[in-house]
Chain A
């Protein structure tokens, strides 16, 4: 069972370049999220999706875009990369079970450096 898979693991971008971080999950989860984590900080929500065709902004969406054409995939696009986007990016997914308990599954992370 692969869980949440995100690629690439490491990437160096030049200022102004664009790229897409890929994320796919094989657990049929309806909720998917993109977080970024800066050194010594917690996870900040960039974008999230509650199902295919539905996306919404999180706390720090500027400079990013997402799409959710299928249940499995939730790519994150960086347009015109800036040094402030140097960070570790985590994709995550879950299916809300209310009182039955929840686990949010995380991908392994993508380390992005913008120079």
Chain B
């Protein structure tokens, strides 16, 4: 299976920029998801990267380097509501499409 590594917790100030890193095993890799999960709620989709490079969606951007087994989620103009857990998940190629999730990074945004 995949080993997904991401920091356990990060803190940042409202209005700032924060980067959440994720590393994964490259063997059989197909694509990488980022999900946001507020406490007591289901994960919600943020992005899915298959190709190298940066994809921007409003305040959130996601970067992927397939050769390095590395991704990051960039959050700009942080708002208090961005306080949540951010889950990185890698999917493998092949007949069975099974995303493997990391433990998640708990982001705390303070005033």
A-to-B contact residues, CB < 8 Å = 31, 33, 35, 40-45, 48, 50, 56, 58-59, 90, 94, 96, 99, 101-109
Contact = CB atoms under 8 A, between A and B. Distances in A.
B48 A103 contact: yes
Contacts of B42: 90, 106-109
Interface string B24-62: 000000010100000001111100101100000000000
Nearest to B93: A98
A102 B31 contact: yes
Given A90-B42, A102-B48, A106-B44, 19 more contacts: A31-B97, A35-B101, A40-B103, A42-B4, A43-B43, A45-B98, A45-B100, A48-B96, A50-B97, A56-B96, A58-B98, A99-B51, A101-B50, A102-B31, A102-B91, A103-B45, A103-B48, A106-B43, A108-B41
Contacts of A101: 48, 50
Interface residues of B, number: 25
A40 to B, nearest CB: 7
A41 B103 contact: yes
B7 interface: no
B87 A43 contact: yes
Nearest to A106: B42
Nearest to B91: A102
11 contacts: A35-B101, A42-B101, A50-B96, A90-B42, A102-B33, A102-B91, A103-B45, A103-B48, A104-B89, A104-B99, A109-B42
B100 to A, nearest CB: 7
Given A42-B101, A90-B43, A104-B33, A99 B96 contact: no
Chain A CB within 10 Å — which of B41, B44, B95, B96 has the most? B96
A45 B101 CA distance: 9
